[in-house]
Amino acid sequence: MNHPAVSGSPSEKTIQAPQKKRYWRDLDGLLLLDKPTGMTSNAALQRVRRLFGARKAGHTGSLDPLASGMLPVCFGQGTKVCAYLLESDKTYEVRARFGAQTDTADADGTVIAESEVKAVAQNDLEQAIRQFVGDIRQVPPMYSALKKDGRRLYELARQGLTVDRPSRPVTIRSIELIEYDPVEPLLRVSCSKGTYIRTLVEDIAQAAGTLGHVAVLRRTSVEPFAGLPMATMEVLEAAGEADEEALERFLLPVDAALKEFGAVNLSSEQTRFVRQGNPVQMAGSRATGMYRIYGDEGDFIGLGEVLADSRLAPKRLFAAPPQPAGEEPQK
């Protein structure tokens, strides 16, 4: 930040406030960020990454700028579990607004059509909602990041273009009317990956005999993190100002994202073989499938698959923890 120039010499000098030196560090873990409204998911990611000084970071499941709520951010080796979180179910609270349709299907857009029906009776709304619970198909909105012939749909939409989009299967686990209002009801939606809440609100409005769009949207959970606290940007920035290490108390371990898989604990010999990428024979019988693997010291190693012959084959390994100073890695 520039301060007023100081005169008194032939050439005026500009005094600048000292800048905190930025450095990047290797950091592993997961952060449950409460993304604020008015910010893209990528902008939120980059802001948090700089705050933590993390060399590597990624997020799972973008939220629209209008939306707030849970955005899991993965640091370091945590980025290896991003793909699993993308598959997770999500829960949203959405306030719909009936009577008008916008080009973006939310309140950030421009109204492109209005309906004579501005209010919906509770019985009619509940009947419309029931039609969309279960396995359904959705046509993605034009304002989305999906691609058509190599171009993002939202890029085409900004040019005033509309193209055909094939419908896609999604699963709506439940829709709860948590606050009835004839014009702006509040809904809670639990759904599978790939669900567009903006499209769902438009479809519910149409089924109720009107037009509609999203007024307010908040993602309250991403599985398997339902019920866990989120950290706001303001809280993180305050913690970072006090002590950079204080930020790390907001991190979850990487394996917190993989609780759907059972756990396997290995002996020291098995740990060595698995870390080298070799399968090991498991004692007793286990159901086939993916498991979390823990080494002989209780450290998380990665994911492995138990095969039909009871061997455990490593599938996704994580780097070994650093050795204490003065010790040589084991051969």
Catalytic positions, written as ranges: 64
How many Cα atoms occupy the beta-carbon half-sphere of 318 within 13 Å?
A: 23
Q: Cis peptide leading into 224, omega within 30 of 0?
A: yes
Name every residue whose Cβ is closer than 8 Å to that of residue 291 and which is 6 or more positions away in sequence: 261, 262, 263, 264, 303, 304, 305, 306, 312
Beta-ladder partners of 302 = 293, 317
| Pure H helices in 142-275 | 153-158, 197-207, 233-242, 268-275
55-62, Cβ contacts within 8 angstroms, sequence gap of 24 or more:
55/24, 55/25, 55/26, 55/27, 56/26, 58/82, 59/33, 60/85, 60/86, 60/88, 60/222, 61/85, 61/86, 61/88, 61/90, 61/193, 61/222, 62/145
| 192, amino acid identity | S
Q: Exposed/middle/buried for 207, CB within 10 Å: 0-12, 13-18, 19+?
A: middle
Contact 16, 2 (CB under 8 A): yes
Nearest to 70 by CA among 280, 257, 299, 268: 257
In angstroms, the CA 26 to CA 59 distance is 17
In angstroms, the CA 22 to CA 50 distance is 8
